[in-house]
Structure formats: C-alpha cells, structure tokens
A and B are shown apart, each in its own frame.
Chain A
Amino acid sequence: MPRILKRYALDGLMLLPLCLFLLAFTALPLLSCVVLSFTEAGSQLFPSWDNYRALFQDSQFLLALRNTLWLTGLGVSLQLLVGLGVAMILHNLVLGRGLVRSIVLIPLGVPTIVAGVMFTYLFGSAGYLNELLSRLGVITTPINWTQGDWLSLGVLLVADLWKVTPLVTLILLAGLETIPDAALEAAAVDGATGWRRFWYITLPLLRPALTMALILRAIDAFRIFELPLILTGKSTPVLGTLAYSEFYEYDNPFGSAAAATLLMGLIAACLMTYLGLVARRDVEA
C-alpha cells in the first residue's frame, strides 16, 4: 500500500510545478484579461459591454479585424503551399541537401524583429525592391509599399512568409519522409505520371502533417504582432498591435483587454469550426 502511494506521490510531485505555473501564469491572467474586458473604464462597473461597444464603433478596430482575418487566411494558405513546395524540393534533392536545408532553416532562428528591420530596407520608398524594379524599368516613380491597403498587406504576407515557412517545411518534410517509397514506385510501375502520383498518393498520405501545420500556423497567424508594428505601423493595424497601442499610447487597459479577448475568441472559434468540420468528414468517411 505505501509503495503505490509513494509511486503516485512522486508522479504528482513531478507534474505539480507545471500545473501550478500554468494556473498562475496562464489561466489566471487570462481570466483577469477577460474580466477586465467586461469592466467599464470610468466607473469600474462589472459586467458591462461598454468596451466592446466602443471597439466595434472604432473604425480602426474594424480595419484591424479585417486585416487580421485576411493575413491569417491568405497567409496560412500561402505558407502551406510554399512550404509544401520547399519540402518537395528538399525531399527530392540528392546533392547538397544538407546545405540547402541549413539555409532554408535560417529564418526559423532569426528574431522576428530583425526580420522586420530587414524588410523595411527592402520595402522602403528608397528601398532595394524599388531600386530593383526601377533598374528593370518596371516603374518610374517609387512605389510606396507600406502606405496601407492591399499593398501593405502584401508586404506583411511576404515578410511573414519568409519568417515562418521553415516551420511548415520541417513538418511537411517529416511527413514526406514517412511516405514509403514502395507505394510511389508501385504507382510509377503502373504508369502513373508524376502529377498523379503526387495528387493521389503523396497528398492523402500527407494529410496528418498538413493538418498539424495548418493548426499550428493558424494559431500563430492570428497573433501576428512584431511585423506589423515595425513594417507598417498604424497604417495597417492588426488586432495584436491594436491591443498594444490601446494600452501603451492611449492608456486604456480596458479597451486593450477587450481587443485581446476578441482575438482569443476568434482563434478558438476558428479552431472549433475546423475541428468540427474535420470530425464530421471523418465520421462520414
């Protein structure tokens, strides 16, 4: 009897610090943030929809919401596509694979803030991209890449793509390497072309890896912060930078909490929707 107790006591002790930490530093602040978002700014009345009402009347917030949704939707799709492409390249490379792999993985380690700095050099009005384009004769007056609207979103998409694709590539590469060569060779023997082999064998077998990459990226994409902060500033707000500027510049922690809570709700909603769809499809299949 005492031995079993001692066994579980040890396990409990090993698990305890993690649970305590997550409780104190994730669950409690989260609750705090949500409660704050429902507290009215002036009178400290709780509960109150005041902050949310103020947010939805603010056109900057609606713009930030739109930008966040676009960046996540387009961004994740692009990253999956490009990541898949790069993974295929790495998978099929025989000579120099190690070198290319090392190069491709570099952005994973580069701090996001540094990535922002680099892309301001590229996308500035007097930046290198404009220089390249004018040398090629494509443009005569410099394009202002970061002035807002779709052009800025494009800049953010490219910067995020650069920074984040290695992670997707890694996951998909791991998935590719689990696909048995035998299946592909058998299909080749049966006369399937490269495309058909890819579409009917590789992709379906890659589903778990794609799903994992999709979920991981979707969660992170909603929370994009440093790149818009540095590259485009106020002209292209996203929910993260909006929450920050509410707190830091306008001294309004209540509005900031509301924006952050909404962001989280958005992430949770998307995740649930996706999992629900996938579960239903699996049930039907």
Chain B
Amino acid sequence: MKPSHTLPWWYGGSLVVALFTLLPLYIMVKSSVSPPHDIFTPNPTFGVSALTDAHWKAVLASETLWPPLGKSLAVATWTMLAAIGVAAPAAYVISRLPWPWKYGVLLGLFASRMVPEVGIALPIAVRFLQWGLVDSQLGLVLAHLIKTLPFVAWILVGSFEAIPVAVEEAAEVDGCDRLGVLTRVVFPMALPGVAVAGLFAWLESWNEFTYALYLSLIDNTLPLQIYYYITRGSWFDSATYATILTVPVIVVTACLQRYLKAGYLAGAVKE
C-alpha cells in the first residue's frame, strides 16, 4: 500500500491531466453551439452564456455533409477489412519464422514506417492522376493501407506468437489438414487481437489527412472537408464538422481502451 501522504499528489496530478486533455475539446464543442457575437469578440467567454443550434441545423441540412461522411466511412471500413485480410495471414507466417528471419522482416516492417508520407504521396499522386484513381475510394484505400498494413501486421505478430505451436500440432494430429488448422483453430483464437488491430486500422483511416490531401481533388473525406472549412473561413462550420468527426472516434476509443491491456503492448515491449 502506498503511504497515504502521497495520495493527494496523485489525484491532483490526475485532475490537472484530465483538465488539460479536455479543455481544447470543450472549447471546440462550445464554438459549434455558440452564437456569433460570443465568438467574434476580442474577449471570448469561457462559460456558455447562450446556446444556439443554428450551426448544427445548417450543417445537417446541407447536402455537403453526407458525401464526405460516406466516403470517410467507406474508405475506413474497406481499409480495415483489407488490412486484416492481407496482414493477418502474413502475420501468422511471420510469427512462425525462425528468429533471424523474423527479426529481419519485423525490422523491414518497422522501417517502412520511417518513410514520410509527403515523400511517398508525391509519386503516387502523379501516377494515380494518370490512372484516373484520383478522387476514387479504391485509390485512397490503397494509400491508407500503406500506413495500416505494417502496423496491423506488427500487432498481429504478437497475437499469433501467443498461440503456442503445440495447439496447431495437436489439431494436426487430430486429422485436420493445414488449412483447416488455420481456419478452425488458429485464427479464431487470434480473433480478439485481430479485432483490436482492425479497430486501430479503422481509426487511423478515419483520421487520415495527408494522403487524402494529395489524392483528392473534388471528393473530400471528412478531415479534408474540415480543412476546406478552415481555409475557406466558415468558423462555425469547421467547429461543427470537427465535432462530428471526433464523436465516433471518442466512442471507438472508449470501447478500445478496455482492450489496451498490458498484454498486447507488453509483447511488443519485450522485443
């Protein structure tokens, strides 16, 4: 048991941390529901004196919310599915590799993270323009996979390592062929890890900005739409859209945080 006289420090600290974390969010949400004269003043107020739903109504009624929302949703979901589909089998193979090979492959996956997006996006944007993939969902999914595939593979290697080879061998002894072992024993056991990795992939694609910036000319994703409002000065629109973008994220993160247990990351830490 910790000595009681340090307890207030921990709680005080956690209060400061929580405030610092929540203040910017509060201001953004407040801006989206404040009337203009509360914002266009050299002395903005901290409390909420007047509320207005005008901005929210305008945004929800305008036609311009649904296409970016739909595109972001579709791209994020496709990215998640593709990332799992491609990375999970590969991660399984990598987890069973002998150590020198495994180290090399993991290092390679890690190294791919080093590449700056502005560097890769450039030739890809030029090429996609020629192939007509600009503004398409397919093009953006491919670009998002550049970031998500190595990341998902990396997390899943840890998941698969947690499944002992003995389990596979036992299933083989019981008469399953290799494919059966994989589909009926191994992958179901790895499902929690796969689900977590998949949700991370979804989040990363939902929030992604740089590739969307290079690869979209007229069909925006939600983050790009917010950037459009920032550069085109609809002060309230940007606050409202930003809130819309953030709400599913907070919900997903809240669900995810239960799974961010020591186990998943400790495996990576022990590398």
Check A175 for interface membership: any CB of B closer than 8 A.
yes
| A21 B24 Cβ-Cβ under 8 A | no
| B207 A257 Cβ-Cβ under 8 A | no
Check B52 for interface membership: any CB of A closer than 8 A.
no
Instruction: Give Cα distance in the complex from A21 to B167, angstroms.
Output: 31
| B10 A89 Cβ-Cβ under 8 A | yes
- Identify the closest chain B residue to A174 (Cβ): B265
On chain B, the residues within 8 Å of A111 by CB distance are 206-207, 209, 223, 226, 245-246, 249
Per the 8 Å Cβ criterion, residues 207-229 of B in contact with A are 207, 209-210, 213, 223, 226-227
Given A29-B120, A89-B17, A117-B28, check contact A110 B265 (CB 8 Å): no
* Interface pick from A30-38, A54-62, A148-156: A30-38
| A105 B242 Cβ-Cβ under 8 A | no
* Interface pick from B53-61, B188-196, B254-262: B254-262
Mask, A188-226, CB within 8 Å of B = 1, is 000000100000000000001100100000010011011
- Identify the closest chain B residue to A206 (Cβ): B269
| A260 B118 Cβ-Cβ under 8 A | yes
| B28 A33 Cβ-Cβ under 8 A | no
Instruction: Give Cα distance in the complex from A5 to B227, angstroms.
Output: 53
Instruction: Give Cα distance in the complex from A19 to B93, angstroms.
Output: 12
Given A109-B203, A118-B27, check contact A170 B120 (CB 8 Å): no
Chain B: number of interface residues, binned into ranges: 35 or more
Instruction: Give Cα distance in the complex from A120 to B230, angstroms.
Output: 10
Identify B90's interface contact among A18, A30, A105, A162, CB under 8 A: A18
Check B20 for interface membership: any CB of A closer than 8 A.
yes
Check B70 for interface membership: any CB of A closer than 8 A.
no
| A121 B17 Cβ-Cβ under 8 A | no
Instruction: Give Cα distance in the complex from A21 to B153, angstroms.
Output: 13
On chain B, the residues within 8 Å of A32 by CB distance are 123
| B149 A22 Cβ-Cβ under 8 A | yes
| A208 B13 Cβ-Cβ under 8 A | no
| B90 A17 Cβ-Cβ under 8 A | yes
Check B159 for interface membership: any CB of A closer than 8 A.
no
Max count, chain B CB within 10 A of own CB: residue among A29, A178, A256: A29
| A14 B178 Cβ-Cβ under 8 A | no
Check B142 for interface membership: any CB of A closer than 8 A.
yes
Main secondary structure of the interface of A (DSSP, over half): helix
Nearest CB on A from B12, distance (A): 9
Instruction: Give Cα distance in the complex from A109 to B203, angstroms.
Output: 7
Instruction: Give Cα distance in the complex from A14 to B183, angstroms.
Output: 13
Given A33-B123, A103-B22, check contact A14 B93 (CB 8 Å): yes
Instruction: Give Cα distance in the complex from A2 to B93, angstroms.
Output: 19
Check A143 for interface membership: any CB of B closer than 8 A.
no
Mask, B141-173, CB within 8 Å of A = 1, is 011011001100100000000000000000000
- Identify the closest chain B residue to A229 (Cβ): B227
Check A122 for interface membership: any CB of B closer than 8 A.
yes
| A25 B118 Cβ-Cβ under 8 A | no
Nearest CB on A from B250, distance (A): 6
Instruction: Give Cα distance in the complex from A120 to B23, angstroms.
Output: 13
Instruction: Give Cα distance in the complex from A259 to B121, angstroms.
Output: 13
* Interface pick from A43-51, A71-79, A264-272: A264-272
On chain B, the residues within 8 Å of A85 by CB distance are 13
Given A106-B21, A118-B25, A118-B28, check contact A93 B119 (CB 8 Å): no
Mask, A127-144, CB within 8 Å of B = 1, is 110011010000000100
| Interface residues of B, Cβ cutoff 8 Å to A | 2, 6, 10-11, 13-14, 17-18, 20-25, 27-28, 31, 41-44, 46, 86-87, 89-90, 92-94, 96, 108, 112-120, 122-124, 126, 142-143, 145-146, 149-150, 153, 178-179, 203, 206-207, 209-210, 213, 223, 226-227, 230, 238-239, 242, 245-246, 249-250, 252-254, 256-257, 260, 262, 265-266, 268-271
Q: Known A-B contacts: A119-B24, A208-B269, A260-B119. Give 14 more (CB < 8 A).
A: A26-B115, A89-B17, A100-B14, A103-B17, A106-B253, A111-B207, A111-B223, A113-B242, A118-B242, A194-B6, A240-B118, A256-B122, A264-B119, A271-B114
Q: Could you write out 16 A-B pairs with CB less than 8 Å apart?
A: A15-B89, A26-B115, A92-B6, A102-B257, A111-B209, A113-B223, A114-B242, A175-B266, A178-B269, A219-B113, A225-B209, A244-B118, A247-B118, A257-B123, A260-B122, A267-B114
10 cross-chain pairs, A with B, having the tightest CB-CB distances, nearest first: A260-B119, A14-B89, A109-B253, A111-B207, A118-B24, A32-B123, A18-B90, A174-B265, A109-B249, A243-B118
